[in-house]
Amino acid sequence: MEVELSFNHSLNYLGDHAVVLSFDVEMNDSSLNYVNKIATALNIFKNKYTWIKDIIPAYQTITIVYDIYDYYLTEKVEPVLLFKKIIPPLIAEASANFTLNTITEVISVPVCYDIEFGIDLKELARTKNISIEALIQLHCNTIYTVYYLGFMPGFAYMGKVPEKIQTARHAKPRMKVYAGSIGIAGLQTGIYPTDSPGGWQIIGRTPLKIFDPHPSKLALFKTGDRIQFYSINIEEFNIELAKQTTPIN
């Protein structure tokens, strides 16, 4: 099905060194896909305008960070006016080519849901009044979309977690959550890329390296990716872990 989509947008300053492009969209996969597509299109600005320092997509917004000093070396009008001129043609072009079924492959992510790794599994299953097996199945049967990356390098916020197993964060975060841990927080699920403090309810661990500091690798996922988890046992976990080469810094 090819449907031309376009959404109303607005452009405003976010402080003195960023502008934020906001889209009037519902929270769903196709609008997220749309925002992400526009953000990708905007990336061509990075080469053209050296004063653009970052382009950061989120649910409904794309934030563009610029260098004030460098900006005025080459431009005369204030930034928001320039963006109001250069952004709409790009949006129009991206919208014209946008189709609802551009969603591509699903990335499979192995997870060991052993209670040694899934330290909150037992308690979560108990409070949700389902078996651990059923909880794992619910977590695995869903295809998640990466909403955005943040919190720490490579941390992908994904959703939407089935209502039955949505859960609040721990009131008091743990001092240390191990790299690869899969957590749930509200309707979101995510993977801790490195050992860090964290408040999400931990249900398993992936042997995959979610973030690799090597400049050619970096984050395993990007905004808009589609992800599905599958369950592996601890032997498979160890085999896969051994395949992952250099340790995470």
Partner 1 sequence: MPIKVIKKGLADSFQDNGRYGFQHIGICTNGFMDYLSAQLGNALVNNPINYPIVELCFPASSFSFTSDHTICITGANFSPVINEKSIELNKPIQVFKNDVLQFLKPIKGSFAYLAIQGKINAPNWLASQSFNATTLQKDNVFEVLPINASEIYTHKISPNFMTTIHSTIFTPAPIRFIPGPAWNDLTEQSLSQLLTQPFHTTLQTNRMGYLLNGPLLDLTKPNQYLSSAVTRGTLQLLPNGSIMVLMADHQTIGGYANLGQIILVDLPRIAQLKNGSSLHFSLTNVNTAHQLYQQIQKGFIH
Q: How far is the CB of 218 from partner 1 (least distance, A)?
A: 6
Q: Would you give the binding string for partner 1 spanning residues 86-125, x where CB under 8 A is met?
A: ----------------------------------------
What lies within 8 Å, CB to CB, of 49 at 6+ separation is 66, 74
Q: How far is the CB of 213 from partner 1 (least distance, A)?
A: 7
Q: Which of 130, 132, 143, 219 binds partner 1 (CB under 8 A)?
A: 219
CB 193 within 8 A of CB 211: yes
CA–CA distances in Å: residue 74 to residues 29, 77, 78, 85:
38, 10, 11, 16
Q: How far is the CB of 13 from partner 1 (least distance, A)?
A: 5
Q: How far is the CB of 46 from partner 1 (least distance, A)?
A: 8
Q: Is 234 in the site for partner 1 (CB under 8 A)?
A: no
Q: Is 230 in the site for partner 1 (CB under 8 A)?
A: no
Give the distance between the most distant pair of CA atoms in the chain: 64
Candidates 106-114, 122-130, 148-156, 236-244; binding stretch for partner 1 (CB under 8 A): 148-156
Residue 165 or 210: the one with the smaller Cβ distance to partner 1 is: 210
DSSP state of 165: G
Smallest CA-to-CA distance from 97 within 37, 10, 27, 146 is with: 37
Q: Is 63 in the site for partner 1 (CB under 8 A)?
A: yes
| H helix intervals, 116-213 | 121-128, 132-140
Q: Which of 7, 45, 151, 178 binds partner 1 (CB under 8 A)?
A: 151
- Report the helix count and the strand count for the chain, using DSSP H and E: 7, 15
Candidates 72-80, 128-136, 158-166, 199-207; binding stretch for partner 1 (CB under 8 A): 72-80
Q: Would you give the binding string for partner 1 spanning residues 17-56, x where CB under 8 A is met?
A: xx-x------x-----------x------x------xxxx
Q: How far is the CB of 201 from partner 1 (least distance, A)?
A: 18
What lies within 8 Å, CB to CB, of 117 at 6+ separation is 178, 181, 202, 204, 205, 237
Smallest CA-to-CA distance from 2 within 96, 115, 136, 138 is with: 96
CA–CA distances in Å: residue 153 to residues 10, 117, 194:
29, 22, 9
Pairing of strands 106-112, 226-232: parallel
Residues that bind partner 1 (CB under 8 A): 12-18, 20, 27, 39, 46, 53-61, 63, 65, 68-69, 72, 78, 80, 147-155, 157, 213, 215, 218-219, 222-223
